[in-house]
Amino acid sequence: MPNVAVITGAYRGLGLETARQLGKRGYHVVVTARDLKKAEAAASKLQAERLTADAQALDVTSDASVAEFASWLKAKHGSLSVLVNNAGVFPGLGEMPKGGFTASLSFTVPMLREAMEANAFGAFRVIQALAPLLKAGACIVNVSSGMGQLSEMNGGYPAYRLSKTAMNALTKLLSEELAPHKIRINAVCPGWVRTEMGGQQAPRSVEEGAKGIVWAATLSEDGPTGGFFRDGQRIDW
């Protein structure tokens, strides 16, 4: 049986392209989205390319949805070799909130909470639920961003930045705990990519952005864990 790869938020953009590239490497990909119809449409595109794919609804902000997905995955596939936490949101994208003392202080706590719930807590929920199904030698990839780097932190977009910094910390923390189980977990910055979130002015294609994610998803058993990477090269936290 082929190895199974789960990609969250995979109905378009980086998630769909990551699923495509993993499918071309022989993985059976599980395409997820909050809207099942969108996931099914994405899986159909992959199937039309003669790739093996399932579609399933998954809302990473919902405990019930994640638990239901984990039960389905166990019953359908039994185990998995790759988990890519790609689902995420970018509150404040396009226009910084107006008013207040500074741009960041104009953000509201609900906006911060929205980003943390999807980008950081969402990744944690999914890892926690699917960890029992991960094979020895499995890879987890947290799709992060250079905007979450403390080493290059600057002003603006605090909700997204803080949530990705939290995702990076989660990566480092879990790498120590998962290492005895031969499970590697790394954070990946795909760069500024031409997606709905990144915009058409971004310099990188989705194909280029997905390559670094797929690299981390297919590391050999002696590959790195607990790192932050872009294009397969380690970058500062």
Catalytic residues: 160
Residue listed under structure tokens 């989705």: 206
CA distance readout (Å), 198 to 38, 85, 145, 156, 231: 20, 17, 11, 16, 17
Burial class (CB in 10 A: 0-12, 13-18, 19+), 83: buried
Residue that is written with structure tokens 């120590």 in the block: 176
Quick one: tokens of 215?
Answer: 């690299």
Nearest CA to 85 among 167, 7, 188?
Answer: 7
CA gap 67, 129 in Å, rounded? 7
Nearest to 33 by CA among 69, 79, 71, 74: 69
CA distances in angstroms from 49 to 17, 20, 55, 194, 208, listed in the order given: 12, 9, 15, 22, 19
